[in-house]
Structures are given as C-alpha cells and as structure tokens.
Amino acid sequence: MKSSEYGKCEDCQQDNIGPQWCNTCNSKRFQSEFNEWTSEDAEIDEFIQKTQLTATKYEEVIEWIPFNRFNNIKYLDKGGKIWKRSQQDVCLKSLNTSTNKDGFLQEIKYQLKFRGIWAISIYGITKNPTENEYMMVMHYAIYGSLRKMLNSSFEKLTWHNKMKNLFYIALGLAKIHETGLMHKDFHSGNIVNETKTSSYITDFGLCKPVAENDLEKIYGVIPYMAPETLNRGEYTQASDIYSFGMIMYEVFTSYPPYYNIPHNEELVISICNGQKSHLIKYFNNSEIKKQIEKANELNKNFIQYNPKITHPQAIYTSRHLPFLKSKKIETIEHDTKQ
C-alpha cells in the first residue's frame, strides 16, 4: 500500500506512512523527550529509542514507564504480576535471573513483531527498584492463561468455542513460522485469553530462527516437547506443531497431557518410545466425524479436569532439562533409531 493512501500529516504536510502516523513529526517528538527519561541502562535506553524511531504505527511503540505509575500489586504467577496503571490492568513480567539482558530484549523484539492479532500487546519496560529487576509491561488478558481458562470455563465452552481458540492459536503459530522463527516453548501456559475464544501467544523468551539450535541448553515442558527434541535436543518448526497437537488435545478434553504421572526421565523415555497419554489413545479409537457430531452432547457428561488430581511431580512450567544429555537418555536414543 502506498504511503500517500494514509493521507498527509496535518503539521508538516508530508505523507503519513501509517494510519495517522507521520514518521518525521513523531521521530522529532520522541527525540525531544529522550532526555526526560532513562532506564539507567544505556543498552535498554537505546533499544527503546530505536523502537520509537523506527515505528510505523502506534502499536509498534514502546516506552519507558516509571515504576511509580503502578499501584495495587497482585501476584499472578511465576515471573508475572498484575499491577494497576492508572485505570488499566497490566501484567508485568520479570526478567528471569537465568536470562541475560540480550535475551530479555530479544524476547521484547519478537513479541512486538507479532503483537496485536497474534501475540499479546506490549506497552513498554519498567524497573522494580526494590528488587532491582527490569520488567516487561504487557496487556493483561482477563482470563489468564489458556490452561487457567480451561480450568474455570471448560463446561461453558461449545465445540465452536474450542475450534475458534485453536484457529487463532494456529494462525499465530503459522505467522511465527512464516518469518523463519520457532517458538520453542509452546504450551497452554504460554497462551493467554482475552475472551473465551480469543487466544494470544506470549513468552517469546526461547524464540529463535530455524537455523539456531543449542543442544546443550534444552528448556521446555516435557509433555509438550516432541520426541526429536527430547531425544536429540533438536528444535524445529515441526516440533512446535507437535506442541500444538498437545494443546489441541488439552482444549478438547480439559486435561493437560500426562497430568497423572511424574514429569521425569521415565516419561521422556516413554514419549521417545511412542507412549501417548491415555486420553489421546481413546480419541484415536473414535471416528472424527462422530466426535464432531457428538462433541457438544458429550461435553455435558464429560468429567472435567480437576487440578487437584494432578500428580505433585507433574510440572507445567518451562525449565532447564539437563538430564536429557544423560547417559540413560542417550542409550534410549540409540535404541529408537534401530
């Protein structure tokens, strides 16, 4: 689309490059304010400034947000908190101590790239002076993670609701893959819901180009990780799609995969040897057409997942999995190739 189709800037009469967006005037305004704020970190300051100067629309702008603008703290989850910013709820994600600053800024860059339709919106960066930690300021999705939404609302979800959620998740993942990236940490805890049918991808901390694989640092949630990742540390776009398949199973049944057993080396070995969750086996024995026709009827009688029955060693947060490089796993890898 030609820039002139967005009309002229009312101030300088140059062509807008986006809806009501004049690059010349906005760049001057941002530059005039650079001396009025600082993150106290030159690299973060430069990152924010560059983002502002290269933005082509309001949605691409992030800002430095002083921590004193937030009030009414409420703990959300590991790595995340809800704060009040004026009359708006936002979610603040802490910079994980295991993540370097470059990784933190890279995560923001990718989330900005897909924000809005595919990924949850990000507004800026702040710093908690008490904890001395930088935090990402994001839109707060009122239903929380997809996992939490399924826990609270599964009985109210129709077949159409479930399909619509999966449709948006699939579109978002496809968009990530179209740009040559892999998410690498795709599970129901990293998808959030603004409504019962609008799902957004979040947590791009492990997102990388397809060509980049670090076989020594394997992170993830075991039930959502593809066998080739568990076997060889190999991440691909196909392994993201495997993870999406596990999310589909979860949306249709309300049960997270392998909820009733420990998420340890034994589970890794079982997955690499072809074991599937018992509910997946059940659904594989049914005809898809009949499943669709009876889905809403079955919903009424389906025993919804109760988080209280989850095995205490079933871990649904992403973590470093150093044991995947152990001798035991390598032996299984050799056996599965025969």
Active site residues: 185
Dihedral sign computed on CA atoms, order 25, 26, 28, 32:
positive
Pair 173, 241: CB distance under 8 Å: yes
Q: In terms of C-beta density within 10 A (0-12 exposed, 13-18 middle, 19 or more buried), how is residue 288 classed?
A: exposed
CA–CA dist 1, 18 (Å, integer): 10
CA–CA dist 309, 268 (Å, integer): 21
Pair 63, 48: CB distance under 8 Å: yes
Q: Which amino acid is at 309?
A: I
Pair 221, 318: CB distance under 8 Å: yes
Question: b or e along 87-120 (b: 16 or more beta carbons within 10 Å of the residue's beta carbon)?
Answer: eeebbbbbbeeeeeeeebbbbbebbbbbbeebbb
The CA-atom distances, in angstroms, between 233 and each of 6, 214, 216, 316, 324 are: 47, 8, 8, 19, 8
The phi, psi pair for 261, rounded to 5°, reads: -140, 160
Pair 107, 207: CB distance under 8 Å: yes
Number of C-alpha atoms within 13 angstroms, CB side, residue 112? 26
